[in-house]
Amino acid sequence: MCGVAGIVHLPSASARPGAARPTTDALRAMAAALRHRGPDGDGVLVDGDAGLAHTRLAIIDPAGGAQPMQLPERRLGIVFNGEVYNYVELREELVKAGHVFRTKSDTEVVLRALAEWGDDALSRFNGQWAIALWDAERRRLLLARDRVGIHPLYYAESPGRVVFASEVKAIFAADPALRRGLDPIGLDQTFTFWAAIAPRTVFRGVSELPPGHVRVYEDGRVAERAFYRHDLRPRFQGSIDDAEEAVRAALEKATALRMLRADVPVGCYLSGGLDSSLVSALGLRAKGERFHTFSLRFADAEFDETEYQRAVSRALGTEHHEVVVAREDIARVFPTVVRHAERPLLRTAPAPLLLLSKLVADLGTKVVLTGEGADEIFGGYDLFREGRVRRFWARHPESKLRPLLLQRLYPYLARSPVAQRATAVQFFGRDLASYREPGFAHGTRWTTTNALKRMVAPDLRPPPGTDAVAELRASLPPDLAGWSPLAQDQYIEILTLLGPYLLGSQGDRMLMASSVEGRFPFLDPDVVDLANSLPDAYKLRVLDEKHVLKRVAAPLVPREIVERKKQPYRAPDAMSFVTPSASPEIDELLSREAVAKTGVLDAGGVQALWKKCKANAGGGAFSNTDNMALVAAISTQLLCRELLGAS
């Protein structure tokens, strides 16, 4: 994993006379902003109107894979972030086609594959990547991003010029005079879906390339297309036994590729849940010995899963490492978390993951496997079960028994929405008439998050009539309405949460903050396509989530892990900041003067919320919405300070 950046001067009728061409100094400034993504080396290349920059985390061919990399005979130059795991097989094809390789790196394979097969090569890559390719002969810039958006890629356009980078801070470094500010629509999306949906970002004038897309600049024109789209219509023809065998084989292959195709040690995150336990078991099987696992422990018992983590480690015989996280730790690192996440956050969950990645790096490991993505592609979230229950209820609104099924949801929440029957019926009974609409299952979450928008100052609110949910629905594929409800729910969860929030805030960013590469077997293209093709009942069997995955895991991990009630990863939120060490800094950050000076949030509303939080330090009267609102206020203020230069 690495950092990529670049500046390209493009012909344009609207280009400003004398528009700045790339300079080595500007490119080095961009690389410096990405040093955490690649501490093992850096490089810049200026080729006429194009400049490329790269910072390297050396994983494959440490001696020979330096970037930017060029093919002199074609004047093709590339900067590449990530890994293409099937580079060995692709290299064999390219050698047969006459290519002579100078390195053993996957970067050279990617470069020569694009030279040989053109843009069609993107569909042949099994991996996680963000790519920028400059063709000097054709004056053509290609930007591309992997299918699910594991690695980020941003760009900012002005007449005759495009600047791109792995992180927004590098775009800002390219042009210190660039006007920096927040985008009202991106902010509105964040306070609806937990993150802005690409190409939108929270920064004015900065866009994000959507997952599975390629964007090409050539001959004064810009063209963008999707080379991949999730298709969740069932196509698998076999029995559940057949599906179990197919999933096992696909996961074994995906894990082995990510375990073995590295020239540095690879470990695994172990949360104590089904997904990371299964990946740990398969990773150990691929490696055979001395396999390291890394876990988060929490000082708060409500969030701690130590007993399950240690049970898996004992059963597998891994060399296990732990970091204990207290509320004070979350508050202490939260400014760093926001600086790396580059967005307002509604939860503190990324903070412990930052501390976990630091543990990994401190122990000398550069790469870890994780279980990310399993819930989205195999139907693991309570949201999917909730959607099924609410649709069942909507079809039989007179039923007194069907709402009782909601009591099987969210057992892990201290302030669960199903804890009181009357409250649950009122909360989940909203908007039942729209149960045929795409996004119905997500509606309760979006409605809850929408309350945060009351904090936004008038100048940062979106134009009148803007409706984030309506715009999302209008952008969905036309044939989505014909998919099953579960397939619709999964597609929208992948679109709105997996890439923008989980991978964007908790995955790539928190790993790369410590120069650690994450690898995600569940997001292997073959695993994803297989999971997408399965019948709903193989994933969500009545209310049993990830049914086929549990069958795969049963012979590999302890029984108590397979049978335990699902407990999603969570961390202490607002109350992390109500501590003797954190409160004075938050008092200053959320003061009327500081909030008014930033100009993003309503100073009076933020002050009232902070006072309510401190008055309810035990958490009793501080609701889930209050929790999200306070974390959002703190992170927004920090974002303005850390990236926009607000004092």
Q: Which of 372, 409, 394, 373 is nearest to 485 (CA)?
A: 394
Claim to verify: residue 343 and residue 255 sit in the same structural domain: yes
Q: How many domains does the chain have?
A: 3
Claim to verify: residue 265 and residue 409 sit in the same structural domain: yes
**Domain span including residue 507:** 230-438+476-569
| Predicted local confidence at residue 402, as pLDDT | 63
Claim to verify: residue 199 and residue 305 sit in the same structural domain: no
pLDDT in tens, 517-529: 999 999 999 999 9
CATH number of the structural domain spanning residue 7: 3.60.20.10
Claim to verify: residue 398 and residue 270 sit in the same structural domain: yes
**CA distance to 103, 123, 208, 219, per residue, from 107 (Å):** 9, 16, 23, 27
* Partners of 225 in beta bridges: 214
* Partners of 518 in beta bridges: 368
- E strand or H helix at 90, and its extent? helix 87-96
Structural tokens at position 345: 């956050």
| Predicted local confidence at residue 433, as pLDDT | 73
Write the CB contacts of 94 (distance below 8 Å, at least 6 apart in sequence): 101, 109, 112, 113, 116
Phi, psi of 339 (to 5 degrees): -60, -40
User: Are the C-beta atoms of 113 and 154 separated by less than 8 Å?
Assistant: no
Name the domain boundary from 226, 242, 262: 226
CB-based burial of residue 37 (10 Å sphere; 0-12 exposed, 13-18 middle, 19+ buried)? buried
Tokens 């229950």 correspond to 389
Structural tokens at position 580: 């003797």
Interatomic CA distance for residues 2 and 60, integer angstroms: 12
C-alpha 240: how far from chain center: 30
Claim to verify: residue 190 and residue 316 sit in the same structural domain: no
Write the CB contacts of 347 (distance below 8 Å, at least 6 apart in sequence): 194, 570, 571, 573, 628, 631
Query: Is 469 among the domain residues?
Result: no
User: Are the C-beta atoms of 226 and 211 separated by less than 8 Å?
Assistant: no
Claim to verify: residue 195 and residue 332 sit in the same structural domain: no
| Predicted local confidence at residue 603, as pLDDT | 95
Name the domain boundary from 173, 206, 226: 226
Claim to verify: residue 171 and residue 190 sit in the same structural domain: yes
Claim to verify: residue 86 and residue 191 sit in the same structural domain: yes
CA dihedral (370, 127, 50, 104) positive or negative: positive
Structural tokens at position 234: 């069932």
| Predicted local confidence at residue 489, as pLDDT | 96
Which stretches of the chain drop beneath a pLDDT of 50?
13, 418
Render 252-311 in DSSP notation, one character per residue.
HHHHHHHHHS-SS-EEEE--SSHHHHHHHHHHHHHH-S--EEEEEEESSGGG--HHHHHH
Interatomic CA distance for residues 133 and 121, integer angstroms: 13
CA dihedral (571, 373, 286, 546) positive or negative: positive
Query: Is 468 among the domain residues?
Result: no
- E strand or H helix at 558, and its extent? none
Query: Is 460 among the domain residues?
Result: no
Interatomic CA distance for residues 294 and 368, integer angstroms: 9
C-alpha 393: how far from chain center: 33
Interatomic CA distance for residues 42 and 323, integer angstroms: 31
Query: Is 292 among the domain residues?
Result: yes
Query: Is 463 among the domain residues?
Result: no
Claim to verify: residue 52 and residue 31 sit in the same structural domain: yes
**CA distance to 333, 339, 591, per residue, from 574 (Å):** 14, 19, 16
Alpha carbon dihedral 276, 281, 283, 285, in 10-degree steps, equals -170
| Predicted local confidence at residue 618, as pLDDT | 56
Interatomic CA distance for residues 69 and 52, integer angstroms: 10
Claim to verify: residue 556 and residue 531 sit in the same structural domain: yes
Claim to verify: residue 148 and residue 292 sit in the same structural domain: no
User: Are the C-beta atoms of 50 and 136 separated by less than 8 Å?
Assistant: yes
**CA distance to 178, 223, 292, 310, 390, per residue, from 374 (Å):** 40, 33, 21, 21, 23
The three-class DSSP label of residue 510 is helix
Reported pTM = 0.94
Claim to verify: residue 303 and residue 359 sit in the same structural domain: yes
Name the domain boundary from 166, 194, 226: 226
CATH number of the structural domain spanning residue 273: 3.40.50.620
